[in-house]
Amino acid sequence: MTANFSTIDHLQAALTYHRERHTVLAGNIANLDTPGYRSADLVRQVQGDPSSLAVSEPGHIASAAGPDFVTSLDDSGKLQSPDGNAVSLERELAKIDANRTRYATSAELVSRRFALLRYAAGDGT
């Protein structure tokens, strides 16, 4: 039975990632007018060695806890307001919406997978 849950475990990891990412993006909105604030995002590392991430991706800061998510700061320096704030409202809102959609999709996929397993567990009843 455990083998059948592996897809669900992957989807659960995705759900966790999108929830944590929303928290970071919400912080960008909260700090829309904070002087000197730079947008942050949570980037998911799909594969590979966590220790190599700092070398290959400039601007990334390895998260203290799992190697799975990495906080990336916006270093582009574009469109800064005079007080040094560099949050683009439209971009952040777009990211928040896209992120929400992925969360909802993952949740839906988990539900459907459970429905299938429930059916199989009940032997077609």
Out of 49, 75, 76, 93, the residue judged to bind other proteins by CB under 8 A: 93
- Cα torsion 31, 37, 38, 40 to 10°: value is -50
Q: Please report whether residue 78 would count as binding other proteins according to CB under 8 A.
A: no
- CA of 73: how far to CAs of 2, 20, 79, in Å? 38, 15, 15
Shortest reach from residue 60's CB to other proteins, in Å: 12
CA quadruple 35, 36, 37, 39: dihedral positive or negative?
positive
Nearest to 67 by CA among 84, 45, 86, 99: 45
Tell me the per-residue interface mask from 55 to 74 with other proteins, x by CB under 8 A, - otherwise: --------xxxx--x-x---
Shortest distance (Å) from residue 31 CB to other proteins: 5
Strand order across the beta sheet in which 40-44 lies:
40-44, 69-73, 60-62
103 lies in the binding site for other proteins (CB under 8 A): yes
Q: Site residues (CB under 8 A) for other proteins? A: 1-2, 5, 8, 12, 15-16, 18-20, 22-27, 29-35, 37, 40, 42, 63-66, 69, 71, 89, 92-93, 96-97, 100, 103-104, 107-108, 110-111, 114, 117-118, 120-123
